[in-house]
């Protein structure tokens, strides 16, 4: 296989990132209107050309990332490379998703006094601060209540108010938040890798340089980045014996997106294992104490935000929107259609039942991982990453960037192991699933499938000695962790 130096990968990835940004100016998720005339559509021909340029740039970025992982670069080189790859995206319009317009519109809803947990962006005053953003929201989300926590809505409200209704400053304000999340992820990956005796550069190369993270957290400004950063920070504090601060940070992460609550379970494992006294006392402390701290944070943030506790009932609203990456939704839809044709049963009931079974299976896998972690058979942090992946694999709604939830944690533990190989292939493939405009064209799945095949062949051909050659440190997650990874991968149908 052809080789490339770290500097060569850095330059190739920077060219790819610049091509993505350039293509995004005409083919990205552009607003419905831009009074400044910066992010405007230039016709179908220009849109096609921009999309082709973005896809070519994406391919260069993926190749550069794949090769960079084997260069053995030092931490400073990796941080410089990250800066090179991120910089071209900073002033680009929203890329690969229009969700940022929902964020801005929801911030405007809070400012206008609407209940974001009972109504969608369509209620925003068209001539108000969030009018352009609301008009730019994707069709599925126009009347959908916010599935996000009050902490994120406080930030969205601040950005919307500061931008004073101008769509470009509002989007760039959200990108500043995304950059802050990226910085927090970098900090968390470095310190978690250090706690596990692994390579900081390797963790950053796998996690922070990951093209899936760059295009969806920096380019698309998804708030998943903030959730991940706070979750990682909470785990770092817990490993250092400051579990109260760690639980509080995870509580803030939950107030962005609810899947972060899984972190409390594995923080509880760490707390219980470190506690003194009888087994019952240690178990009770681990199960209850982190949750109580995070619950207090959630209540305080909700009261400060003034948005009410409606977020408790809107966590499942996204599941009503079908996404092709959800295996349980696809299976439920297919089974429901067949049974409706044969027996006249309601297909929605069948689909809902399959989705519920999927979530039940995910909970069983998560409980199994927590039990193994509590008994010392798998590293609790690694188990958290696997648990997040199990939740994504069996969730009723799956988006490409959801893979980052567990990938960021795995990056800090055993990015070089079996789970890391699977996630590297999936990360490289899923970047192709979404068009720069945020749509999901059929050919995106074809491209993703082709990359899966190529990536799998490359991983299988890669000698174990080369894969582990740049993984210093006396402590690694171990063979048992990789066996646990294999169990989850097989149970989750490959994810």
Residues 67-118: pLDDT tens digits? 998 778 899 999 999 999 999 999 999 999 999 999 999 999 999 999 999 9
Q: How many CB atoms lie within 10 A of CB 137?
A: 26
Work out the pLDDT band at 145, boundaries 50, 70, 90. Answer: very high
Q: How far apart are CA 423 and CA 235, in angstroms?
A: 21
Proportion of the chain in helix, strand, coil states, percent, rounded to 5: 70, 0, 30
pLDDT in tens, 374-398: 988 999 999 999 999 999 999 998 9
Q: How does DSSP assign 413-466, residue by residue?
A: T-TTSHHHHHHHHHHHHHTTSS-TTS---HHHHHHHHHHHHHHHHHHHHS-HHH
Question: Which run of H or of E encompasses 274?
Answer: helix 262-274
Contact 339, 350 (CB under 8 A): yes
Tens digit of pLDDT for each residue in 186-212? Answer: 999 999 999 888 889 999 999 999 999
What is the CB neighbour count within 10 angstroms for residue 375?
10
Residue 121 has pLDDT above 90, yes or no: yes
Q: CA 332 to CA 9: how far, in whole Å?
A: 43
Mean pLDDT score, 400-407: 96
pLDDT > 70: what percent of the chain? 92
Q: Is the pLDDT of residue 470 over 70?
A: no
Listed in sequence order, the residues at least 6 apart from 417 whose beta carbon sits closer than 8 Å to its beta carbon are 477, 481, 482, 485
Whether the pLDDT of residue 466 is over 60: the answer is no
pLDDT in tens, 320-363: 677 888 899 889 888 988 887 888 888 888 888 999 999 999 99
For residue 479, is pLDDT > 80?
no
Q: Of 66-70, 114-118, 404-408, 480-484, which range is least confident?
A: 480-484
Q: What is the pLDDT of residue 136?
A: 94
Given a cut of 90, whether residue 1 has pLDDT beyond it is no
pLDDT at 319: 63
Q: Higher pLDDT residue, 338 or 231?
A: 231
- Distance in angstroms (rounded) separating the CA atoms of residues 373 and 265: 10
If one compares 436 and 420, the residue with the highest pLDDT of the two is: 436
What mean pLDDT do residues 127-136 have?
92
- Condensed to tens digits (0 to 9), the pLDDT of residues 267-309 reads 999 998 887 777 777 777 888 999 999 999 999 999 999 999 9
56-65, 76-85, 139-148, 373-382: segment of lowest average pLDDT: 139-148
Does 22 have pLDDT greater than 70?
Answer: yes
Question: Would you place residue 138 in the very low, low, confident or very high pLDDT band (cuts 50, 70, 90)?
Answer: confident
* Residues 6 or more apart in contact with residue 115 via CB below 8 angstroms: 109, 307, 308, 310
Helix (H, G, I), strand (E, B) or coil at 481: helix
Going by C-beta distance under 8 Å and a sequence separation of 6 or more, which residues neighbour residue 271? Answer: 238, 243, 285, 286, 289, 290
Rounded mean pLDDT, 225-247: 96
Residue at token pair 């599925």: 140
d(CA 218, CA 394): 26
- pLDDT bin (cut points 50, 70, 90) of residue 3 is low
With b meaning 16 or more CB within 10 Å and e meaning fewer, what string describes 434-454? bbbbbeeeeebeebbeebbee
Give the mean pLDDT of 159-171.
Answer: 94
pLDDT score of 36 = 86
Mean pLDDT over 163-169 rounds to: 93
Question: By percentage, how much of the chain surpasses pLDDT 90?
Answer: 69
Cα–Cα distance for residue pair 372/374, rounded to 1 Å? 5
Q: Which of 3, 166, 165, 25 is nearest to 70 (CA)?
A: 3
């Amino acid at each position: 296989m052809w080789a490339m130096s770290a500097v060569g990968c850095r330059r190739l990835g920077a060219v790819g990132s610049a091509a993505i940004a350039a293509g995004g100016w005409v083919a990205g998720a552009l607003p419905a209107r831009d009074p400044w005339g910066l992010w405007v559509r230039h016709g179908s021909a220009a849109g096609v050309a921009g999309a082709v340029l973005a896809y070519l740039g994406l391919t260069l970025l993926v190749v550069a990332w794949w090769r960079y992982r084997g260069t053995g670069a030092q931490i400073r080189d990796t941080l410089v490379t990250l800066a090179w790859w991120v910089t071209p995206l900073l002033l680009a319009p929203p890329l690969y998703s229009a969700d940022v317009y929902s964020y801005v519109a929801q911030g405007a809803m809070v400012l206008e006094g609407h209940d974001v947990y009972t109504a969608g962006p369509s209620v925003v005053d068209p001539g108000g601060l969030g009018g352009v953003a609301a008009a730019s929201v994707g069709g599925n989300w126009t009347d959908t209540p916010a599935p996000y926590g009050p902490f994120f809505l406080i930030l969205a409200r601040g950005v919307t108010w500061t931008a004073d209704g101008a769509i470009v400053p509002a989007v760039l304000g959200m990108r500043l938040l995304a950059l802050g999340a990226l910085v927090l992820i970098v900090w968390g990956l470095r310190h978690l890798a250090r706690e596990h005796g692994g390579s900081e550069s390797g963790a950053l190369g796998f996690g922070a340089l990951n093209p899936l993270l760059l295009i969806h957290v920096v380019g698309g400004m998804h708030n998943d980045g903030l959730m991940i950063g706070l979750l990682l920070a909470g785990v770092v504090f817990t490993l250092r014996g400051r579990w109260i601060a760690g639980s509080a940070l995870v509580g803030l992460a939950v107030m962005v997106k609810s899947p972060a609550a899984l972190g409390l379970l594995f923080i509880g494992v760490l707390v219980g294992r470190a506690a003194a006294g009888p087994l019952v006392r240690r178990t009770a402390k681990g199960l209850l104490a982190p949750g109580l701290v995070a619950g207090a944070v959630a209540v305080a943030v909700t009261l400060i935000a003034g948005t009410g506790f409606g977020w408790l009932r809107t966590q499942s609203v996204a599941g009503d929107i079908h996404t092709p990456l959800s295996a349980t939704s696809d299976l439920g839809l297919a089974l429901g259609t067949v049974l409706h044709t044969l027996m006249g049963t309601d297909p929605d009931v069948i689909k809902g039942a399959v989705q519920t079974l999927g979530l039940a299976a995910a909970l069983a896998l998560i409980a199994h991982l927590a039990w193994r972690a509590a008994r010392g058979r798998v590293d609790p942090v690694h188990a958290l990453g696997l648990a997040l992946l199990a939740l994504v694999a069996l969730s009723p709604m799956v988006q490409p960037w959801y893979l980052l939830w567990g990938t960021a944690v795995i990056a800090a533990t055993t990015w070089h192991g079996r789970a890391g190989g699977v996630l590297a292939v999936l990360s490289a493939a899923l970047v192709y699933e979404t068009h720069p405009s945020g749509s999901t064209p059929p050919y995106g799945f074809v491209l993703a499938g082709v990359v899966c095949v190529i990536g799998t062949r490359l991983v299988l051909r890669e000698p174990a000695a080369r894969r582990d050659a740049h993984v210093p440190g006396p402590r690694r997650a171990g063979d048992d962790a990789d066996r646990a990874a294999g169990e989850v991968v097989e149970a989750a149908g490959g994810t």
